[in-house]
Structure 1
């Protein structure tokens, strides 16, 4: 879909010139601006206030050196990033991604998405993101600890419980969060809710581990039911095998679905009898092995190299939970041809713009990432609340709050889409609803 509004077209050209080497960021901004065309027509006051121009420019971008010593005594150097995108409705909030693909453009796209995602949760959180091109795979615990300590030695001066609250992301799990939190506490000499995703013994929240995967299914379930469908008896494909994927599988099965495929960065497994999640948890969470080892103990299962091939497996519901742009136009067309009627995103921006066009053109129920995978940051917000009040809620309490938040996010997306004449387009509804809350705050606070 091409922008028709001249004002937004000119703004997008400016974004492209300023960020020419950052295709992921340009892609994310393009999608949102396309959705906001009807808002420009209805709200000229936001144009006059310069809200759109400020929305696409981060408040602050940090890039720093991260030196650490490996087990052979050799000095290694990585690059660290933190993009503090918007504090209009609360302190910056967003995860830390550790992956070789990380560079400034990836962090900016994630931070931009986070602004609208956090807005949709209705919790008082701004948007930010951080990370490094460090690869935790194959590293010892000692190497990971030394990297995390070095990373936090620089980052700690830029964050705080009321300034910027990082969390986990790809490559940053409980182990990494623990090392980072320990170093922050050591440097700042204070015990505070500065990171979320912490261990339960030092301020973490129950359900945080499960939150993104569970939240994805809560959102998808209410979206399905609003359209006369459900998870019950449906065949589901879930990409990835990390935290989000594992708990999306767990909740989808609990809701009556059969999940037949999962993947990692090397390839994918297909088990027509239904994925044995206990085995996957043992492989990925305990032994840290590759997904291909699953077939050694499951004779009916097959493994194939190349993770994107997972979308050739026939399914009713697809839950992409691996990484950005994992479903392209060709994969989307195969999904539709094979009878997939619902795609709901657990990863950040896992569908290309061309894939999304295929979904919308074929009436596929599409749950966009910034709405469907907001459960992780929503529960991070609940962890922040517990830290601030020095409380610890039960699993059931947090899970119910998470479910309510995800149901409200869908309701907001649905009602906003209808209000702007785009009924059933939950992507447009999510973008507009998330934007309006931030925009009103920006306008009220003046030119800052």
Structure 2
């Protein structure tokens, strides 16, 4: 079976050359599927994995727009509609200069299994552009978003493909894109985008959901060992919505969060990060994280690099910034300093070497992003449900639904790992549980 999986990977990599992040995501899934493929050798004959690794549709388009100096700028937009076996394509839009087809495909491939794990009727997709919103005026961002949606609108819809936000795409960007979609289609189709403002179809808890969900998943992992978050020291990377609301929920559950970061560096506060000050700095003023030290003072200090925060002794690590931010050396430092739980708040933030170290280390629990950060897309699906019902739920009701979904994801991963002889292996459990649900739907629908 190992040789068959290796030959599958070779064929997929050759077909998708020059896309290392996509190769990494495929490897992470395929390397855990041996047990289920042993039970179902017919999956090879039915080319299930080949079909799953080939997007149903890949859309690449030009995005022309005019900056504040009157100069025409050109960016490249993407939407990869990977799998609709379980429902309409669902996944965020990322605006960042690093965006290319390989990164969008890795994110979309991960999204298939993440969305399946939620138990919600949503397929997998992802999109974005190589546009950098940093330093751009509101008018420039609006111009870009309107041009981006002028092409994208023909490919999406509440029953077809439902984008949301990701890195570089928050409520402001979603608002500009929704306005342009409405203008182009002459329809107030609230369910076409999620992450909307509360006054026009958004859902309470959606901004908090990914961060809250990551911490709730970490809490469930601890509870499975008879422990909880109370009194634990937590390292968090990032300082956007995911990171800040992960901090907020961890503190609410009794933990002390000691770090934050962005692309400019990191800060360490042994007495605990002041989350309200960080919110003001990052989410309102959009400043660099290093200014936290000047603003808060006390024992806080700037670290030499963003990676340095993983060398601080903590019980729990929550990488919430971007892909491959936590490497093998950082994993070794965390393990040496006694880390007990690592839960991925971002998409694939641990390199393969780091993930392998965590998974092989006795006493360390590792929650992969497709399980630990599924709270965001789960709450997006709840937003779609409210839109379909023309309804709006309370914060308490929506948060309770999120907590229930995260408990169910943990149970699904844990029980699947146990069933396949790897108790405590959340990577194997998440991959097989998500894979099985998608494949059952694919096979029922024929060769499509």
Aligned to 1:344: 343
Please identify, of 376-385 and 353-362, the stretch whose mean Cα deviation from structure 2 is larger.
353-362
Aligned to 2:394: 394
**Which digits, 9 at most, give the CA deviation of each residue in 1:235-284, with x for residues without a partner?**
00000000000000000000000001111111110001100011100100
Aligned length: 445
Aligned to 1:248: 246
Query: Equivalent of 2:273, from 268, 275, 284?
Result: 275
Matches within 5 A, 1:159-174: 159-174=156-171
Aligned to 2:85: 88
CA contact (8 A) 1:95 1:168 kept: yes
Name the SS for the 2:258 alignment partner: strand
Query: Equivalent of 1:10, from 3, 7, 12?
Result: 7
CA contact (8 A) 2:12 2:50 kept: no
**2: distance between equivalents of 1:197 and 1:61?**
23
Aligned to 2:39: 42
1:442 and 2:442 are equivalent in the alignment: yes
Aligned to 2:320: 321
**Which digits, 9 at most, give the CA deviation of each residue in 1:106-134, with x for residues without a partner?**
00000000000000000000000000000
- Residue 228 of structure 1 and its aligned partner are, at CA, apart by 2.0
Coordinate RMSD, CA, aligned? 0.8
Aligned to 1:334: 333
**Which digits, 9 at most, give the CA deviation of each residue in 1:131-177, with x for residues without a partner?**
00000000000000000000000000000100000000000000000
Name the SS for the 1:210 alignment partner: helix
Aligned to 2:209: 211
**Which digits, 9 at most, give the CA deviation of each residue in 1:191-221, with x for residues without a partner?**
1110000001110000001000011111111
**1: distance between equivalents of 2:67 and 2:183?**
22
Aligned to 2:175: 178
Give the TM-score normalised by structure 2: 0.98
1:307 and 2:306 are equivalent in the alignment: yes
**Which digits, 9 at most, give the CA deviation of each residue in 1:28-60, with x for residues without a partner?**
000100111111100123323221110111000
**Which digits, 9 at most, give the CA deviation of each residue in 1:398-440, with x for residues without a partner?**
1000000000000000000000111110010000000000000
Aligned to 2:358: 359
**1: distance between equivalents of 2:440 and 2:45?**
13
Name the SS for the 1:209 alignment partner: helix
Aligned to 2:55: 58
**2: distance between equivalents of 1:205 and 1:357?**
37
CA contact (8 A) 1:265 1:306 kept: no
CA contact (8 A) 1:266 1:305 kept: no
**2: distance between equivalents of 1:351 and 1:163?**
32
- Residue 94 of structure 1 and its aligned partner are, at CA, apart by 0.2
Name the SS for the 2:59 alignment partner: strand
- Residue 299 of structure 1 and its aligned partner are, at CA, apart by 3.1
**1: distance between equivalents of 2:436 and 2:389?**
29
Aligned to 2:108: 111
